Structure 1
Amino acid sequence: MAANAVRSSPYWHWQPQRDTTESSPRRLTKDKPRMQHRKLTPALTRFVTSPARRIVMRQVAELRRRIARQPHAIHYFHRVDDPYCQLMLQALPELQHRFDVTLIPHVIEQLQPQMYPAPDLLSAYSAIDAKRLARLYRLPFPQIVPGATSGEREKASRALVARTRSPRFFAEALDIGTAFWSGASVADGAHPAGDAAALRTGEALLEKLGHYASATVFYGGEWYWGLDRLDHLERRLLGLGLGKNPNESVHYDRTWRGLFEPVGEPIARQTPLEYFFSARSPYSYLGFFQAQKFAAAHGLDLELKPVLPMVMRGMAVPQAKRIYILTDSKREAEKFGLEFGRIVDPLGPGIERAYAVAHWAHAAGQSEAFFASLLPAIAAEAIDVASDSGLRKVVARAGLDWRSATQALAGKRWRDWVTGHRSEMTDLGLWGVPCLKYGDTVAWGQDRFWVIREALTDGPAPS
């Protein structure tokens, strides 16, 4: 049903409208040019994010497992050159020690390139972020020696794929990963090297099950990425009564637990919290209200820096990625008590109109009020900001004057405003949203406020 709903949604193409003026507006066309993008529809997003659908899917998965008399199997997808995997190799055996589950590893080597618009930037940032997570959870992490060759990666991957059926896979994979990241030669050990076909099998299974990333686990029809989403899996396993200890609890919640508790004496800090975001991004919506609360809790000024959505910056967001983002955002929204899922996609004119008004509101010192009204309108209330009626609701709720806002719609300066924010992000080595910056500390993701909190306590987060 989900796939059919996606297939039936209209195709739209984002392209510049040729014009003799220097800052001509862009438009959406329904022709079939060389690059196309589907707009999200309210019916589709309500269906994909429905809690009732999730409950039914979980019940069906559990029923099928019982009928087949299968164990509670957690499928884990491992890639040797993904630093987050080095952490998962340590976290998953610990999870198995606490819950009555079976771990089934799969080794992959190649990623789907269309899913990663900035692979080099992602690789560089992931190494920094994984080390931060390792410190947060007190997990060993090797000193990374840059410049591992493709030959070493292939050698390590084949050594790992030959060990997937070994009961010591996680320990052996951890040793191989440590050698790989440290720049040491990967020892073949007692196992013969696996072949490329076995790696392709793992990659095909990952795609068939509906994901695109390594360091992910698949359990009962649902995906969980990295240490950051193990708390959702833990709660699900607890709900099924799979904890080996009757007092078992969630362990992997350090990225959000205690975020808003005071850091020392309340003071007014001179350095602002900068928040880079897109009005179309579900994660930006979630992060915005976290940013507001975090800034207020820690005496920070909040500087909002909107950028164009990735699609309007020429970056593709394929279907499987969008579906995962929607379902994951819904889980995260529920965790923080936010509504999410009734979406009217603002792609194109909706974004342009909203950002034109936002620039005017920014000049009046009211951008925070405007975005506090705009973001839930898009992500949770099915308000079409491409229409006058929809945008007027947003403006009125922010306490702003609609007549003045309509005059702002004709302005073009907002383009330089958001382009400047994008340039700042690029200079920081970042490409996606949301991003956080506090002084010299930079982090990517709505779930990285803990990095900023550490910077408030200890100074700039080490890289």
Structure 2
Amino acid sequence: MTYSAELYFSFRSPYSYLSVGRYRSMAEQYDLEIALKPVYPLAVRQPDFFERNHPNWIGYTMRDMVRVAQFHGIAFGPPAPDPIIQDMTTREIAPEQPYIKRITRLGQAAARRGKGLVFAHEAASLIWGGAQNWHEGDHLAQAAAKAGLDLAELDAEVSAEPDTLDEEIAANQSALEASGHWGVPTLVFENEPFFGQDRIEMALWRMKQKGLQPR
């Protein structure tokens, strides 16, 4: 019996990146299908989030994500460019956000084809794995190819259906909140949310309780 779960994911979230490869490995090792559900980051949904947060929040998060990557042996580096255009001094979010809009819509287009999880892992590895100018050249084309996808085809879909894709992405966010959480990464299995990269082992434990078996 194949089990199913949904992974709510943001391409701007370092913790989403630090979880997606481990969830991909889980889906490859166990009789499990994980459907990617891309959502826009808080910087898009709540542009004043960073202005309202505690001043220590950014510094702590930067320290923590680096040590999580080191702990798990995951390649990690600051995104170049950041998927969100933001003034890090004032924390102000720019009104136009071409990078995050494109990559999130690409993720949703990949999810339509049942390959969202693999694409998210390959693309996030560019963004957060130390690649320079991940949005240029053939970086994303190679990431798409590793996921069994054609970037030109995905980009054509993004250009033709931006509003429809955004509606699907908004529906993902609504489904996440209906599950009982609001942030990413969150894995939902049988209506039970597991938030954070530090809940992966617990999610697997729960699925094994329900009978999940290795492939």
Q: Structure 1 length as normaliser, TM-score?
A: 0.38
Task: Specify whether residues 406 and 273 from structure 1 end up closer, same or farther in structure 2 by C-alpha distance, changes over 3 A only.
Answer: closer
**Residue 283 of structure 1: how far off its partner (Å):** 0.4
> 339, 358, 372: which one pairs with 2:121?
372
Q: In 2, Cα distance between the equivalents of 1:337 and 1:442?
A: 26
Identity %: 26
* Aligned counterpart in structure 2 of residue 418 of structure 1, from 169, 174, 187: 169
Report the Cα distance in structure 1 between the residues aligned to 2:190 and 2:19, rounded to whole angstroms.
19
Task: Answer yes or no: is 1:429 the counterpart of 2:175.
Answer: no
Q: How many residues align?
A: 189
Greater C-alpha radius of gyration: 1
Question: Does residue 326 of structure 1 match 2:79?
Answer: no
Q: Deviations over 1:260-310 (max 9, x none)?
A: xxxxxxxx43x3121111100000000101111122233211111111101
Higher helix share: 2
Counterpart of 1:311 (choices 27, 34, 43) is 43
The separation in 1 between residues aligned to 2:172 and 2:151, in whole angstroms, is 26
CA distance in 2, matches of 1:395, 1:453: 32
Q: Counterpart of 1:451?
A: 202
AA paired with 1:333?
A
Q: Is the 8 A contact 1:346 1:384 kept in 2?
A: no
Q: Which has the higher contact order (CA 8 A, sep 6+)?
A: 2
Tell me the alpha carbon deviations over residues 409-453 of structure 1, each in whole angstroms, 9 at most, x when there is no partner.
Answer: 312122011111100111122111111111132211111023222
Pick aligned residue for 1:346 from 72, 77, 83: 83
- What do the CA deviations read for 1:175-203 (whole angstroms, capped 9, x no partner)? xxxxxxxxxxxxxxxxxxxxxxxxxxxxx
Q: CA deviation at 1:323?
A: 2.1
Give the AA of the match of 2:204: R
Give the CA deviation at 1:459. 4.3
Q: C-alpha distance in 1, partners of 2:174/2:110?
A: 22
Counterpart amino acid of 1:346?
A: P
Give the unaligned 5+ runs of structure 1.
1-267
RMSD: 2.1
Secondary structure at the counterpart of residue 37 of structure 2:
strand
- Following superposition of structure 1 onto structure 2, how do residues 8-27 of structure 1 map, counting pairs within 5 Å? none
CA distance in 1, matches of 2:17, 2:75: 10
Q: Give the distance between the partners of 1:355 and 1:366, measured in 2 at CA.
A: 14
Q: TM-score, normalised by structure 2?
A: 0.78
- 5+ residue gaps in structure 2? 85-96
Query: Is contact 1:282–1:325 with CA below 8 Å preserved after alignment?
Result: no
**Cα separation, 1, equivalents of 2:45 and 2:109:** 22
Q: Which of 272, 285, 288 pairs up with 2:4? A: 272
Q: Alpha carbons of 1:454 and 1:280: their partners in 2 closer, same or farther (altered >3 Å)?
A: same
Q: Give the Cα separation in 1 of the matches to 2:70 and 2:49.
A: 27
CA distance in structure 1 between the partners assigned to 2:184 and 2:116 by the alignment: 18
User: 1:402 and 1:440, CA in 2 relative to 1: closer, same or farther beyond 3 A?
Assistant: closer
Deviation at 1:373, TM superposition (A): 1.8
Q: Is the 8 A contact 1:343 1:382 kept in 2?
A: yes
Are 2:171 and 1:406 equivalent residues in the alignment?
no
